[in-house]
């Protein structure tokens, strides 16, 4: 196979950084990787370790909420890599939303990062993929996108919206040879979950999550929920009275 050209957002920590490491180990000098996040120092040190495995690595320190900057970066990456095979829109945040206090900013920030950020990452890639007649767009949603968690309305709403966005792109882009996948993790060990005070059943370690995600992408899955236990939990949560869920997770 020719060089794999892979672009990952949210690559400075957690799932994104672990996926970058996974692909660098898989493809070695057959990989041209684009890594994007805001923390430049983290990206630079990750890139250095991945170059030791043979990968060509570009780092982009920007904010996925900035559409203009994202368009420029996509032009830069697809230009230097000579196209793009796989894009993983993974950057996301899950802070307390403080809606009970009437604050707009925290939830608006979640919506801008988790939904607009995915849109800003994937849409500028589409013309290149259409020209190539190939490519794979991936968004990281969440099991939280299948139901409303108390205190996490914006987070759950963005993750549900991301899945629907991807579902709507899939049939249109299939005609151009482009695959579309939504990855919906349950709990994964990362900076995002490190300080959660509620129970996190079936939590998965980063490297295992990266392996499962990469396998689902390679198989061209449309929507992939993991770990498998979460596929059973989702219908149970739908059947559960709201007060039980409210007791299990954080408050508004």
Ligand X SMILES: NC(=O)c1ccc[n+]([C@@H]2O[C@H](COP(=O)([O-])OP(=O)(O)OC[C@H]3O[C@@H](n4cnc5c(N)ncnc54)[C@H](OP(=O)(O)O)[C@@H]3O)[C@@H](O)[C@H]2O)c1
The residues annotated with a catalytic role in the active site are: 155
Sheet holding 4-9, edge to edge: 56-61, 31-37, 4-9, 86-89, 135-140, 178-185, 223-226
Segment holding 75, helix H or strand E: helix 67-81
Which span (123-131, 146-154, 171-179, 190-198) binds ligand X, by CB under 6 A?
A: 190-198
191 binds ligand X (CB under 6 A): yes
120 binds ligand X (CB under 6 A): no
113 binds ligand X (CB under 6 A): yes
Which span (37-45, 76-84, 128-136, 224-232) binds ligand X, by CB under 6 A?
A: 37-45
103 binds ligand X (CB under 6 A): no
Which token pair is 57? 């690595």
Cα 131 from Cα 70, distance rounded (Å): 19
Among 86, 140, 213, 217, binds ligand X (CB under 6 A): 140
How many residues can be counted in the chain?
252
Specify whether the CB–CB gap between 203 and 189 falls below 8 A: yes
Among 91, 107, 115, 230, binds ligand X (CB under 6 A): 91
Q: How many CA atoms lie within 13 A of 182 on its CB side?
A: 24
Which token pair is 175? 């005609």
Nearest to 78 by CA among 174, 16, 23, 7: 7
Closer Cβ to ligand X, 8 or 126, answer by number: 8
10 binds ligand X (CB under 6 A): yes
227 binds ligand X (CB under 6 A): no
187 binds ligand X (CB under 6 A): yes
CB of 42 to ligand X, least distance (A): 6
Residues in contact with ligand X by the rule CB under 6 A: 9-16, 37-39, 42, 63-65, 90-94, 113, 117, 140, 142, 185, 187-188, 190-193
């Amino acid at each position: 196979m020719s060089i794999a050209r892979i672009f990952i957002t949210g690559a400075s920590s957690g799932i994104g950084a672990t996926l970058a490491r996974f692909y660098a180990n898989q493809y070695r000098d057959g990989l041209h990787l684009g890594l994007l996040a805001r923390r430049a120092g983290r990206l630079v040190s990750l890139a250095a370790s991945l170059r030791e495995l043979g990968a060509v690595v570009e780092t982009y320190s920007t904010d996925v909420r900035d559409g203009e900057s994202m368009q420029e970066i996509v032009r830069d990456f697809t230009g230097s890599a000579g196209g793009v095979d796989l894009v993983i829109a993974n950057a996301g945040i899950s802070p307390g939303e403080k809606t009970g206090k009437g604050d707009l900013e925290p939830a608006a920030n979640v919506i801008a990062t988790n939904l607009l950020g995915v849109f800003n990452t994937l849409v500028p890639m589409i013309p290149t993929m259409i020209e190539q007649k190939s490519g794979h767009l991936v968004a990281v949603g969440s099991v939280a996108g299948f139901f409303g968690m108390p205190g996490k309305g914006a987070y759950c709403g963005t993750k549900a919206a991301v899945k629907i966005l991807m579902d709507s792109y899939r049939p249109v882009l299939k005609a151009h040879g482009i695959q579309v996948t939504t990855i919906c993790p349950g709990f994964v060990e990362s900076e995002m979950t490190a300080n959660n005070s509620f129970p996190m059943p079936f939590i998965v370690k980063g490297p295992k999550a990266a392996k499962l995600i990469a396998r689902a992408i390679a198989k061209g899955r449309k929507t992939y929920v993991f770990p498998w236990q979460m596929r059973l939990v989702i219908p149970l949560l739908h059947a559960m009275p709201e007060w039980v869920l409210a007791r299990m997770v954080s408050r508004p």
